[in-house]
Amino acid sequence: MSLNSENVRVAVTGAAYVATTTATAPTTATSALGVDYKDLGYISDGGITETRDRSTNQIRAWQNSALVREPVTESSITYNFVMIETKKETVAEYYGTTVAADGSIKIDPGKTGGRKSYVFDVIDGDEVIRIYVPNGEVTEVGDQTYVNGDPIGYEITVTGYATTVGDEVYSAVKWYTSLDTTGA
């Protein structure tokens, strides 16, 4: 067994970005993002939570009730985080609408803001994990609490939808600089 403590990663810092689904996709963990990607600012100290869900259906044979197969019937991937910087981009993502020139928004609780592309960078020194969601949507928002001593938070959950490129279907792409063997 080969153990190497240098392979232990910690999410020391990072960033969350949003763009239209037509924005140029990143190509590596460290490739520069285009000007279409807007930084969502400070994220709460809870960081970003990636959740993969699966539902299966157990198929049993008549003989001995033996389990013969268990296909995946539903699956999803989501990213949940709380933006704590109040700025145009965070308010627009949270409420699913645009911010008017006078700083106002019109709230329709059913609006999601539509499908967008998201990039999440997780950074540990020189090591980067980049997550690219080419086709995502804000599907849940958290409560807002206004209290002395705490930041006003904008909690959102982004669901990644299936994207087809050639013969591949995926909801997100993840790069790890520490696993890159291309020499790029």
Give the model confidence (pLDDT) of 12-55 as tens digits: 999 999 999 999 999 999 999 999 999 999 999 999 999 999 99
Rounded to the nearest angstrom, the gap between the alpha carbon of residue 82 and the centroid of all alpha carbons in its chain is 12
> Does residue 103 lie in a domain region?
yes
Residues ≥6 apart with Cβ < 8 Å to 171: 76, 77, 133, 135, 160, 161, 162, 163
Give 80's pLDDT tier (boundaries 50, 70, 90).
Answer: very high
Contacts of 110 (CB under 8 A, 6+ apart): none
Flag whether 117 is in a domain.
yes
Averaged pLDDT score across all residues of the chain = 95
Q: Which residues pair with 119 in a beta bridge?
A: 17, 132
Q: Is residue 23 one of the residues assigned to a domain? A: yes
Strands 168-170 and 49-56, sheet pairing? unpaired
Would residue 1 count as lying in a domain? no
At residue 183 the predicted structure's pLDDT band, cuts being 50, 70 and 90, is confident
CB-neighbour burial class of residue 85 (10 A; exposed 0-12, middle 13-18, buried 19+): middle
State the residue range of the domain holding 38. 11-42+83-179
Provide the number of structural domains found in the chain. Answer: 1
Whether residue 63 is contained in a domain is answered as: no
Decide: helix, strand or coil at residue 106: coil
In-domain check, residue 56: no
Asked whether residue 134 is domain-assigned, the answer is yes
Residue 174 is inside which H or E element, if any?
strand 173-176
In a domain, 4, yes or no: no
